Amino acid sequence: MPLDALLAEIPPGHPDEALARQIQSDQLPAHVAIIMDGNGRWAAERRLPRVEGHRNGVEAVRQTVEAATALGLQVLTLYAFSVENWKRPAGEIGALMMLLKRYLRSELKTLLKNDIRFRVIGRPEGLPPDVQEELTTAIDRTAGNHGMIFNLALNYGGRTEIVDAARRAIEQGVAPADLDEERFASLLYTAGQPDPDLLIRTSGEVRVSNFLLWQIAYAEIYVTETYWPDFRRQHLLEAILAFQKRERRYGGVTPVAGAAAEVS
Ligand code: FPP
């Protein structure tokens, strides 16, 4: 039953219940992508080291994955580490890798229980070998699941992805005349998945930051002031409700209420 799984997780009377009941289950975005931002500012506001922001961000990841799967999304993509993030101090990178490994180890049971298919988008071969091992285990163990696809973008760049797709087209000997949008999309990291309908960015920044450049062509963008470590089911539901109020046009015209259907 649509939304039953979500409502079953919300204690009766909890403020999220009213939000959940407003969601139209037949108009859910198929794919939600999130730029998780604001971990550093969350920590700075508390006079804590940046790493504490990331540590608390892991709990937000955990709860968002659970809410997204209960909601019945087909795909959830989280931007965890970009190709540009290697410019950060070595200690911060090391802490992020350690948190990622720990998360995968501790959450694998939950991913399996929820029938989630875990995937990585990006260039995982550029990550430390011990992290790659943990990722491969999670990908392989969940490969036979049939529920939500959970993509984690790691060592990811939108332009890098497009370059990798172009390289693949050349390697596969694709003839120029055969290379249309559909074929090109099949060479991206997200091959076979619906494009994001909704792109959420936390912490108030209004930038795309080299994320899913090809795939967000028609995505609705929703920015919340909430810092990522504070992001919870409530914020995901609010973003989806805002999405459901928007008119998607895909380059067509805006329907005007009361206007004649045809102009003679
Ligand atoms: C952006 O905040 C956040 C990141 C670059 C990393 C996201 C990582 C996590 C949420 C934790 C680990 C992830 C998983 C999947 C277990 P920022 O540091 O750029 O914040 P700022 O803009 O406030 O400085």
Share of the chain above pLDDT 70, in %: 96
| Per-residue pLDDT, 1 | 55
* Residue 7 within a domain: no
* Residue 6 within a domain: no
Tokens representing 65 are: 């994955």
Q: Name the pTM for this structure.
A: 0.94
- Using a 6 Å cutoff on CB, does residue 38 contact ligand 1? yes
Tokens representing 134 are: 């943990």
* Residue 115 within a domain: yes
The set of residues, in sequence order, having a beta carbon less than 8 Å from that of 231 and lying 6+ positions away, is 36, 60, 63, 64, 202, 224
Active site residue 164: no
Q: Are 221 and 201 in contact (CB under 8 A)?
A: yes
Domain total in the chain: 1
* Residue 19 within a domain: no
Tell me the CA–centroid distance for residue 231 and ligand 1, in Å. 12
Sign of CA dihedral 7, 8, 9, 11: positive
- Using a 6 Å cutoff on CB, does residue 104 contact ligand 1? no
Protein residue with least CA distance to atom 22, ligand 1: 38
A 10 A CB-CB count for 125 gives: 8
pLDDT band at 250 (very low <50, low <70, confident <90, very high): confident
- Per the structure, the complete domain to which residue 66 belongs is given by 28-257
* Residue 105 within a domain: yes
* Residue 23 within a domain: no
The predicted-structure confidence for 64-110, as pLDDT tens digits, reads as follows 999 999 999 999 999 999 999 999 999 999 999 999 999 999 999 99
Tell me the CA–centroid distance for residue 57 and ligand 1, in Å. 7
Active site residue 155: no
* Residue 18 within a domain: no
Q: Are 63 and 233 in contact (CB under 8 A)?
A: yes
Q: Per the residue annotation, which of 85, 145, 164, 210 is the catalytic one?
A: 85
* Locus of tokens 């805002």: 242
Q: Per the residue annotation, which of 37, 195, 197, 230 is the catalytic one?
A: 37
- Using a 6 Å cutoff on CB, does residue 229 contact ligand 1? no
Q: Are 26 and 244 in contact (CB under 8 A)?
A: no
The domain spanning residue 198 has which CATH number? 3.40.1180.10
